[in-house]
Structures are given as C-alpha cells and as structure tokens.
Structure 1
Amino acid sequence: MKLVIFDCDSTLSAIEGVDELARVRGPEVFEKSEAMTNAAMEGKIRVEDVFGARLKIIQPHRDDVAKVGQLYLDTIEPDAVAVIADLKNTGWTPIILSGGFRQAIQPLAKHLGIERIEAVDLFFDAAGNYTGFDEQFPTTRSGGKPARIADLKKAYAPVRTVMIGDGASDLEAKPVVDLFVGFGRYLERPKVKAGSQAFIYRLADLPALLT
C-alpha cells in the first residue's frame, strides 16, 4: 500500500471552490471570500479564522454547490486523469484531502477514479438552503491535514505516503509524509515553494518523483 494524497482546489482543478460559490453572490462577496482564501493559503491567517466566516457571508444553496461540482470538471487539471491512472497502475492509492466541500468534489473524484474523499460536508434544509457545515472535520482548521493524514496512515499502514498541493495548509503535512510536493500551475505561493521537497507546475511531472 502506497498513498498519494492530493489537494483538490488549484491542484486537481484550476478553481477554488469556495470562491466560485461566492462569485454567485456578486463581486463584493467574491472579493471578500477570495481575499480570505488567499490569506489562509499563504499562511497569513489561520484556516479556522476564515472557514466559517466565508460560508456565513456566502450562504451557498445546494444548487450552487452542484454547479461548482460541474465547474471542477470543466476546469480539471489537464494531466490529472492520465497521471492518476498511471499511479494506480503502479500500486499507488490516490486520496483527495481538501478543505473544500465533499458534495462539490464528488463528481471530480468519480471522474478521476478516486474512491476516497476527505473533505467537509455542507448541510442544507429541505429547500436546499444552507444550514451549516461539519465543524468537527479536521480540514476546517489549521493543522487539520496532517492530523487527518496521521489517521489515514493508521488505517492503511502504507509503506510510503506522498502529499501534493498548492497551499500552506497542504505544506503543514510535510512532517507526516515521506515526500511533500508543491504544485504551482495555478498559484505559485512563495512559502509553499520554499518549503516543498519538490515543486512542480504539471501533474505529469509527479510520477517521475515517485519512482
């Protein structure tokens, strides 16, 4: 068993899902959400300081989440399908670990052939109106990704674990994986690039790092 753990937003797809949910609410809400997302992903503020706050101002409808799910597919990382198929054929088990939303990520994961999604559940009422999120899920706070990876390692007992992502919350996983790969096709974050053991701009370059 070998685990390759992917961030989703700005890694497997070009978008940041939460910001696309905000875009539906107009330019002012989008600008606020985008600024908070960037500050958290650059490590300037804690994830927990923005996670609930963004959703509170966005108030996403279930239909909006479905639209973002399609947008993930429309903006899929060009190499993702082939790379993940190649990794699976060479004994790697891919997992998505994200601070994004499970319902939106599911179509992308299915398209990529990734069975396990570690992401945040959103809650809606019968009419599809937003009522909250899973506040206990680890990726809603700083340090959540390494904590979840530790749980995954206990469950799978892998001989090797690799993480790839673009943000500061991904880089936090470096101490608990065998290799942390920074990804910069969509957003090159200086802190992540400096801290990564390897840094790539195409997912097609990932398999060579894992041989």
Structure 2
Amino acid sequence: MLVSDVDSTFLTQEVIELVAEHADVRDRVEEITTAAMRGELDFSQSLRARVALLEGLEESVLQEVRESLVPTPGALELVRRASAAGWVTALVSGGFHEVIDELAAAAGIDHVRANRFEIVGGRFTGKVSGPIIDGTAKRRTLEELAERYAVPPARIVAVGDGANDREMLLAAGTGIAFRAKPALREVADVVIDGTSLLEAWPHLEESASR
C-alpha cells in the first residue's frame, strides 16, 4: 500500500496557499503554513487560523485553483506503476477534498482523505467542515486501510514532507521524507532530496518483496 501526503509531496504546491491568493492573504497564510510544517505550531490550530483568513471568498475560485494544480514530477507515474503492480494507493491530506478529488480520480487513486471547507450560500465561512485531518488522523487512516486490505506494515510505504506526516511515516514499514522539513527527516527511513517522486519507486519494489 502506498500512502502519500499531497501538499508539497504529491503536488508541488500548498493548496490552501493557492486559495489564499484569491483572497489576497497568501503571504499571511504562507507564514502560518511554514511554521506548522516545521512543527512550531499545532496543525489543527494553524489550519483554523489559515481558513479563517478566507472568510467571504466566493466558492467559484475553487475551479480556478483546481485548474492550477501541478503534480510533482514523477508523482503520476509512481501511482501508475504502483496501481499496475497491484498496490492500494491513497492520498491523505491536510489539504481539501474540494480541490484535490478531481485530480486524484484522474490519477486513479483508490482513496482520498482530506479536510473540507465550510461553504454557505456560495461563500467560504472561514471555518472547516467536519473533523480536521491532522497527523493523528493521517496515521489512523493508514491503519484503517491496512486493516481493510490486510496489508502488513512491512508492505506499506508512506511519503510526506512535513511534521504533520511524522505519525504516518512511523506507522509504515517504509517512511519516505520527500524534500522534507527537519522534523520529518529525523524519523524517516528514507530521505529523497531530488525533484522526482519516482525516486521512491525502488523503495516500493523493495517493500513489495518483504
């Protein structure tokens, strides 16, 4: 099973920053995002603070954001190879379903778990709808999928870049830190500093042989 973070891992961008650009608050959101990914801020609190800055934004901007997504080099090929080899694939994100679901479906991803914006009357309320997908939720999702598909930890590869991915990487048989912050690199089994996510493929092949 392959479980990947989305922002700055499967995608080159941070989804909430793309949305924030339409509200002219990208700089403020970037500051909070960076601190959270370094592990300096509680993720849930930081997410609420960032989403609060989007209050009043029109829902229609989400289509523009979806059209601007740039997958990380090698990400789509990695998923294609994994799926062809019989791997279960999942994106587990602190980002948002409204932005990433369309891309995930096109890429053939089996499962997506992410946050949702609260939108009322066609506008952002500045709140998150439902439970927040933080580091613990990411780990629990990995564990739930592993149980569902009867995949032992040794044959699970998890990929991420920030402090929010620590629990998920520790729960996987192989935890890969991709162009990652120090808080994640220190717990990872593998560190990839190249630009292509396809560099993870040999580690998937090794995991599959266990």
Q: Name the residue aligned to 1:51.
A: 47
Q: 2:13 is paired with a residue of what secondary structure? A: coil
For residue 80 of structure 1, report the CA deviation from its aligned partner: 1.7
Residue identity in the other structure for 1:63? S
Deviations 1:98-117 (A, max 9, x none): 01000100122122111311
Give the Cα separation in 2 of the matches to 1:65 and 1:171. 29
Q: Name the residue aligned to 2:177.
A: 182
Give the Cα separation in 2 of the matches to 1:113 and 1:148. 18
Mapped pair 1:23 → 2:21: yes
Structure 2: which 5+ residue stretches go unaligned?
A: 206-210
Residue identity in the other structure for 1:204? L
> How many residues in Structure 1 have an aligned counterpart in Structure 2?
199
Give the Cα separation in 2 of the matches to 1:174 and 1:107. 25
Mapped pair 1:4 → 2:2: yes
Q: Name the residue aligned to 2:145.
A: 152
Deviations 1:45-83 (A, max 9, x none): 1101111111111224321222221111xx211212222
Residue identity in the other structure for 1:92? W
Of all paired residues, the percent bearing the same amino acid is 25
Match of 2:188 among 187, 191, 196: 196
Match of 1:42 among 30, 38, 42: 38
For residue 12 of structure 1, report the CA deviation from its aligned partner: 1.3
Structure 1: which 5+ residue stretches go unaligned?
A: none
TM superposition outliers: structure 1 runs of 4+ over 4 Å: none
Mapped pair 1:111 → 2:109: no
Contact 2:5 2:92 in 1 (8 A): yes
Give the Cα separation in 1 of the matches to 2:51 and 2:3. 25
Mapped pair 1:69 → 2:61: no
Give the Cα separation in 2 of the matches to 1:76 and 1:164. 14
| More divergent stretch after superposition (167-176 vs 40-49) | 167-176
Give the Cα separation in 2 of the matches to 1:142 and 1:198. 19
Residue identity in the other structure for 1:110? A
Contact 1:70 1:107 in 2 (8 A): no
Deviations 1:28-50 (A, max 9, x none): x2111111111111111110111
Give the Cα separation in 2 of the matches to 1:180 and 1:142. 14
**TM-score between both structures, scaled by the size of structure 2:** 0.88
Backbone CA RMSD of aligned residues? 1.6
Q: 1:158 is paired with a residue of what secondary structure? A: coil
For residue 142 of structure 1, report the CA deviation from its aligned partner: 4.3
Residue identity in the other structure for 2:136? G
Contact 1:8 1:100 in 2 (8 A): yes
